[in-house]
Amino acid sequence: MNILTIPARRALLSSAAVALALIAQPVVAQEKPKEHADGPAAAYEPSMTTLGQIQVEIPGRREGDPVMSQDEFQRGTKIYFERCAGCHGVLRKGATGKPLTTDITRENGYDYLHSFITYGSPAGMPNWGTSGEMTDEDIDLMARYLLLEPPAPPEFGMAEMMETWKVLVAPEDRPTEQMNDIDLDNLMSVTLRDSGEVALIDGNTYEIRAVINTGYAVHISRISASGRYVFTIGRDALINMIDLWMETPATVAQLKVGSEARSIETSKFKGWEDKLAVAGSYWPPQYVIMDGNTLEPKKIVSTRGNIYDEQSYHPEPRVASIVASHYNPEFIINVKETGKILLVDYTDLKNLKTIEIEAERFLHDGGFDSTKRYFLVAANARGKIAVVDTKEDKLTALIETGGATPHPGRGANFVHPELGPVWATSHLGDESVALIGTDPEGHPDQAWKTVQTFEALGGGSLFIKTHPNSDNLYVDAPLNPDAETSASVAVFKISDMKAGEDPEYTVLPIGEWAGIAEGQPRVVQPEFNKQGTEVWFSVWNAKDKESAIVVVDDKTLELKQVIKDPRLITPTGKFNVFNTRGDVY
């Protein structure tokens, strides 16, 4: 397939064909249970794989409990944490999925549970049995397992953290100036998901300068305000702090902050650059503030508490995205299940001041507007974007995007020719892109509203991106069930956009350009170089198959480079040092 220009609403795949596997949320109304996808899509709902490794005891037997051996219980726990806990919660108290506490499961009984697991439900429960994902034996095991009390995984406090803390190169032994010739601002830190590594790739020469061991299924990289340190976090909650000034960049400190985690950030306010780091965990539900030079844990704060609206207690509210304010010495911490956004003042950890904003449940990912004053975060299972004014420290708006399951990554900021400054998100559950007005001064009528929606390639989009120097908006669709769609990207020309009119888009066959013979690679997460002249895409294949990174010239939309290397195993997120540290997107 060559580059293709398509009028909007004639996408590669009919929007109705999008039934996203494992997006177990009620937002996509469906008549029949969802089918499972395989490969990367199946990995999308949180899978608590690390928790699944923990040894647990069968809680005290009660009368009528099914008989289960310790081995069976251990296996049931592993399956539960890997496949069910993401939606139903570690303690089975419910999240996007229904609660599965024993008062409910015992009332429903073994036969009901068995058939529910086998056939799924229209509300979003996957059909684990009929899809072939679970064997009859496992379904029987899980139906019995759910009749027993859930095990509580261990907490992870200061004592446990201190046991994992390692300073591999002390601050006084680190270089006092940059010891390599890398253009650090244009370096890309690339997640190699299934090998648990990051590749540091030179943005000018496309050369891999280092491959560094990180946590299990490493998730994101964030960069210190100075640009010297890269922080990575694995799903096993292991943080690596990498010093880019060393001759060959390497890990200088490590800390494990829990059993399951997804987010990490560093302090960015003037005077606090590189001073502190913060990480949020899925389990235990908490965040930890660390020394920004050594990762020494300073303060652990639990996020357990009441859901913002119904004010009932939630035992395991996971920490989703975290960003650092540019307007105040604060971390902005998004707590998923309670729907609260915490603005944590990091200037005095002994007398910690936190502003707690009531936002919306199921907060997930988000980014700043172009002025960096407003933070926009998706409450994705609620179809909304919450906007926080980080200067005044209050909720500005809660906006319906009109689409199913907004998933912005950090979003995309640009000036719409007719609507003024906007921030954009794409959606997991359908093909729509929503633009939200972000200029309350210059365009008060458009501010904090969904001012335009239009269609991109198809559902299953995860990330959207542009750059202040670019006239293009890129939208991926890696979780789309259609192979050609999931290997392509839609590009919209910003200067051609008109209010109320669906823009045309160009389709880039990135997967085909990668020239990969085997597998079904998905194209994920556009990321710009520092100058905004090139955009990089991961071509994400299975672990045992070839993957690649494809670099596109932003002006001509032509292929510029295909980066291939046996070390590039399952590349997904890419984090340009300059753009990530400055929140340029």
Site residues (CB under 6 A) for ligand DHE?
43-47, 191, 193, 219-220, 235, 262-263, 320-322, 364-365, 409-410, 462, 524-525, 572-573
> For residue 355, which amino acid is it?
I
Q: Contact, 239 vs 254, CB < 8 A?
A: yes
Q: How far is the CB of 280 from ligand DHE (least distance, A)?
A: 7
Q: Which is nearer to ligand DHE, 73 or 362 (CB)?
A: 362
The torsion defined by the Cα of 428, 430, 433 and 435, in degrees rounded to 10, comes to -90
- Of the candidates 87, 134, 142, 241, the residue annotated as catalytic is 87
Say how far residue 174 (Cα) sits from the centre of its chain. Answer: 32
- Of the candidates 125, 142, 188, 290, the residue annotated as catalytic is 125
Rounded to an integer, what distance in angstroms lies between the CA atom of residue 340 and that of residue 363?
8
Q: Is 125 a catalytic residue?
A: yes
Q: Which residues pair with 400 in a beta bridge?
A: 384
Q: How far is the CB of 222 from ligand DHE (least distance, A)?
A: 7
Q: How far is the CB of 48 from ligand DHE (least distance, A)?
A: 7
Q: Is 241 a catalytic residue?
A: no
Q: Is 114 a catalytic residue?
A: no
Q: Which is nearer to ligand DHE, 328 or 380 (CB)?
A: 380
Q: Which is nearer to ligand DHE, 339 or 573 (CB)?
A: 573
Q: How far is the CB of 394 from ligand DHE (least distance, A)?
A: 21
Kindly state the tokens that stand for 44: 């999308």
Looking at residue 228, what DSSP letter applies?
Answer: -
* DSSP H/E element including 483: helix 483-486
Q: How far is the CB of 136 from ligand DHE (least distance, A)?
A: 26
Taking alpha carbons only, the member of 508, 510, 422, 524 closest to residue 463 is: 524
Q: How far is the CB of 574 from ligand DHE (least distance, A)?
A: 8
Q: Contact, 205 vs 191, CB < 8 A?
A: no
Q: Which is nearer to ligand DHE, 335 or 508 (CB)?
A: 335
- Of the candidates 68, 84, 142, 241, the residue annotated as catalytic is 84
Q: Which is nearer to ligand DHE, 100 or 412 (CB)?
A: 412
Say how far residue 33 (Cα) sits from the centre of its chain. Answer: 25
Q: Which is nearer to ligand DHE, 446 or 486 (CB)?
A: 486
Put the strands of the sheet holding 472-476 in their side by side order: 4-6, 505-508, 489-493, 472-476, 464-465
- Of the candidates 407, 427, 443, 467, the residue annotated as catalytic is 407
- Of the candidates 36, 88, 314, 416, the residue annotated as catalytic is 88
Is residue 355 classed exposed, middle or buried when 0-12, 13-18 and 19+ CB atoms within 10 A define those classes? middle
Dihedral sign computed on CA atoms, order 563, 568, 570, 574:
negative
Q: Is 88 a catalytic residue?
A: yes
What Å distances lie between residue 272 and 80, 287, 327, 330, 347, CA to CA? 42, 19, 12, 10, 9
Q: Is 219 a catalytic residue?
A: no
- Of the candidates 219, 326, 364, 467, the residue annotated as catalytic is 364
Q: Is 290 a catalytic residue?
A: no
Q: How far is the CB of 454 from ligand DHE (least distance, A)?
A: 22
Residue number with the shortest CB distance to ligand DHE?
Answer: 573
Q: Which is nearer to ligand DHE, 372 or 410 (CB)?
A: 410
What Å distances lie between residue 182 and 66, 207, 246, 267, 538, CA to CA? 61, 10, 10, 24, 22
Q: Which is nearer to ligand DHE, 285 or 409 (CB)?
A: 409
Sequence-separated (6 or more) residues with CB below 8 Å from residue 392: none
Q: How far is the CB of 571 from ligand DHE (least distance, A)?
A: 9
Please give the radius of gyration of the chain, using alpha carbons only, rounded to the nearest integer. 23
Residues recognised as catalytic: 84, 87-88, 125, 364, 407
